[in-house]
Amino acid sequence: MVRQSGQGGARERARRAMRAQISQIALDLCVEAGYDGTTVEQICAAADISRTTFFRYFASKDDALLGDVDSIGLELLEALRERPDEEPVWHSLRHALGALIRGYASDPDRTRQVITLMDSAPSLAAAHLGKHARWSPLLRPEVSRRLRIDPDDRSDPRPHALISSALSCADAALAAWSVPGTPDTIDELLAHAMTAIAQ
């Protein structure tokens, strides 16, 4: 059993390394030739992989640049669930998003390159916003539980409003952080943005 677990861990590390390699190649090509000027075929050629292999790791070119949307969403949900039940929901969302923000901060050069790409490629920016659309229904049941309302009650706008506002604050923090010379960290900027909404 231990050996199988070790083998499984090794396979997962190899998978992550391959994803990271393909993702970096995709980003380098997009920075050089532009987002719209870069195709999946070109990424495959540069990475020396087939289209089949590419789509084994990524659902799309957007996915290669923006990360595993579903995995990130699950991480956000887990971080939210770990917060104390008695904590105000807005504070819980702030702490849950902190994990996401720290992930961006761990590779600042890449994060800034992706943000710059989004500024010049509306389709990539739209794909980024599409992440929010996938995360909102994932987070809604937990936010609803913390608000003590029925998760299936779509007539109550509060869960969606809180989630959408929190995610928009994260985007605002990233945009401010990407400005050259910004002295604050992404985490500090997220705190500023969310405090402004709370006030």
Q: Greater confidence, 123 or 45?
A: 45
> Confidence band (pLDDT; 50, 70, 90) for 25?
very high
> Confidence band (pLDDT; 50, 70, 90) for 129?
confident
Tokens at 1, concatenated: 């059993």
pLDDT at 72 (0 to 100) = 85
Residues 161-189: tens digit of each pLDDT? 999 999 999 999 999 998 888 888 999 99
pLDDT at 106 (0 to 100) = 83
Q: How many CB atoms lie within 10 A of CB 142?
A: 22
d(CA 132, CA 56): 23
**Mean pLDDT of the 10-24 span:** 91
Please determine, for residue 1, whether its predicted confidence score (pLDDT) is greater than 70.
no
What single-letter amino acid sits at 45? A
Residues 94-119: tens digit of each pLDDT? 999 987 888 888 888 888 899 989 98
10 Å CB burial of residue 61 (0-12, 13-18, 19+) is buried
Please state which of the ranges 75-89, 120-134, 163-177 shows the lowest mean pLDDT: 120-134
**Mean pLDDT of the 145-166 span:** 93
Q: What is the mean pLDDT of the chain?
A: 90
